[in-house]
A = this chain, B = another copy of it.
Amino acid sequence: MDKIKKMSDIFGIVIHGGAGTILKASMTAEKEAKYREKLAESINTGYEILESGGSSLDAVEKAVNVMEDSPLFNAGKGAVFTHDGKNEQDASLMDGKTLQCGAVAGVRHIKNPISLARLVMEKSEHVLLISDGAEAFAQTQGVTLVDEDYFYTDQRWKQLQLSIKREKQSHTDVTALDHTPDEKHGTVGAVAVDKAGNLAAATSSGGMTNKKFGRVGDSPLIGAGNYANDKTCAVSTTGYGEYFIRLVTAYDVAALMEYRKLSLKEAADLVIYEKLTQLGGSGGLIAIDGWGNITMPFNSEGMYRGFMLSNGKKEIKIFKD
């Protein structure tokens, strides 16, 4: 890779906690406060690492850990249930300095999938490990597997029962899966630029409620749900993953910047508001570049999101405005 010159003194972090149909009507003040509090905790965790001279890689991992450990988001503790009542999680992480990356898919006993993805990157020669194999690798690295009970939450269990009931009522074929967007899928993610000007991206997902057949979305797929390159940007996506895979969304933002010389915002807007929308997909992304520019476009009703930059700019939002 070409040597990258430090572009700016700005450092900072952007996070998301999933995009989808987040109706204002069903969002109580109390619920909204809980989300805002946890998003702030995630941002602060990452920002403090950056402020003390830590790496963007550490910042995005630890920021994502905060959301993984909360039942509020569809990742880690709050992962949704598959049709069989299991939790199958996916995650990936990328270092924009080296283009090293790591990912796991279909893991069932990992408290923090993003941290396992980092171990895959740093302690194996591979990028993507799946299912039981990924968990066997985790054990060689001293990661304690957690019992499936850890991921049980009443809210997610009720979502599964509701989804199964709806599926039966609609006599949907077992392979024509229901995709009403209401909280069926979600993802958490973080992107950051550190004081050294290095970028990193992390994405972690609990998958899709009532999913069958070992479906894997875009979250663990480098280029689709996650991408980082110091030359351009770091990106984490959330939404209806199949569309992000078909559009190679995360890398496309970087390619539009590098090859067509678009700004971060122009590239991300084109990808979400034109490409994703025209193909019929829904969701959004967060992105940051080496100059400390950030953007958080989405075409769904809401996206849990926020950022904090060293120039004093910060924000936490859920709805369009």
Residue ranges of A at the interface with B (Cβ–Cβ < 8 Å):
1, 99-101, 105-106, 123-134, 136-137, 140-141, 174-177, 179, 212-217, 221-224, 227, 241-242, 245-248, 251-252, 255-256, 259-260, 278-279
Interchain CB contact under 8 A, B140 and A174: yes
Q: Which residues of B contact A213 (CB under 8 A)?
A: 124, 126, 129, 133-134, 136-137
Interchain CB contact under 8 A, A223 and B251: yes
Interchain CB contact under 8 A, A279 and B212: no
Interchain CB contact under 8 A, B242 and A223: no
Residue of B nearest to A104 (CB): B214
Q: Which residues of B contact A214 (CB under 8 A)?
A: 129-134, 136-137
Q: Which residues of B contact A141 (CB under 8 A)?
A: 175
Q: Which residues of B contact A106 (CB under 8 A)?
A: 130-131, 133
Q: Which residues of B contact A247 (CB under 8 A)?
A: 99
| Complex A-B: 5 CB contacts under 8 Å | A105-B130, A127-B242, A221-B221, A221-B223, A252-B255
Bound CA–CA A123/B213 (angstroms): 12
Bound CA–CA A134/B221 (angstroms): 17
Bound CA–CA A279/B101 (angstroms): 13
A140 to chain B, nearest CB (A): 6
Interchain CB contact under 8 A, A123 and B175: yes
Bound CA–CA A133/B213 (angstroms): 4
A133-B213, A136-B213, A140-B175 given. 10 additional CB < 8 A pairs? A101-B245, A125-B179, A127-B245, A129-B215, A132-B214, A133-B212, A133-B214, A134-B214, A221-B222, A260-B260
Give the 6 A-B CB pairs with smallest separation, nearest first.
Answer: A133-B214, A259-B259, A223-B248, A255-B255, A137-B213, A133-B213
Residue of B nearest to A128 (CB): B216
| Residue of A125, A134, A140, A216 most packed against chain B (CB within 10 A) | A216
Q: Which residues of B contact A179 (CB under 8 A)?
A: 125
A81 to chain B, nearest CB (A): 14
